[in-house]
Structure 1
Amino acid sequence: MQSYYPERFERDMGTSEGEWLTALPRALGEHAYELGAGQVRVHIGEGHLQLQWRILPPRVIALLRMQRLAVSFVFEGVEEDARQRFMKRFDLTMQRGGG
């Protein structure tokens, strides 16, 4: 989890699109959203977050193949404190454990 989340950033996320779409509603919490192909618009207060993703080639480490998505985050009209709160919850929900 980051200590600060800017208004625009991109991530390389180690997940398949199916896993991403399964976890996404939980990560968005009670925020209303509109899901489209490769994108979702999340209403946060008076503003919104536009998430867009595309499938990347898998990361290969020896015999391990990890599915990946390139995800862009663009907040518009969302105050900084609301952005930070939203992203902390989002990251905790999307966090994957190992072991």
Structure 2
Amino acid sequence: MQSYYPERFERDMGTTEGEWLCALPRALGVHAFELGTGQARVLIGEGHLLLQWRILPPRVIALLRLQRLAVSFVFVGVEEDARQRFMKRFDLTMQRGGG
């Protein structure tokens, strides 16, 4: 989890698109959203978050293949404190545990 989330950033996420789509509603919590092909628009207060993703080639380490998505986060009209709260919850929900 980051200590600060800017209005625009990108991430390389170790997940398949199917796993991402299954986890996304839970990560968005109570926020209404519209889902499109490779994108989602999430209503946060008076503003919104535009999520866009595309499939990246897998990361290969010896015999291990990790599926990846490039995910772009763009907040429009979302106050900083609301953005920070939203992203902390989002990150906690999207974390994958090991063990």
Q: Does 1:97 align with 2:97?
A: yes
1:74 CA drift (Å): 0.1
Partners of 2:81 and 2:39 in 1: CA distance: 24
TM-score (norm 1): 1.00
SS of alignment partner, residue 97 of structure 1: coil
Instruction: Find the counterpart in structure 2 of residue 41 from structure 1.
Output: 41
Q: Does 1:74 align with 2:74?
A: yes
Q: Which runs of 5+ in 2 are unaligned?
A: none
Partners of 2:98 and 2:66 in 1: CA distance: 13
> After TM superposition, what 4+ stretches of structure 1 lie above 2 angstroms from structure 2?
none
1:54 CA drift (Å): 0.1
Partners of 1:89 and 1:36 in 2: CA distance: 22
TM-score (norm 2): 1.00
Instruction: Find the counterpart in structure 1 of residue 26 from structure 2.
Output: 26
Partners of 1:41 and 1:72 in 2: CA distance: 12
Q: Which runs of 5+ in 1 are unaligned?
A: none
1:85 CA drift (Å): 0.2
Partners of 1:10 and 1:25 in 2: CA distance: 19
1:35 CA drift (Å): 0.1
Instruction: Find the counterpart in structure 1 of residue 51 from structure 2.
Output: 51
1:42 CA drift (Å): 0.1
Corresponding residue pairs, total: 99
Instruction: Find the counterpart in structure 2 of residue 86 from structure 1.
Output: 86
Q: CA RMSD in A?
A: 0.3
Q: Percent identity?
A: 90
SS of alignment partner, residue 78 of structure 1: coil
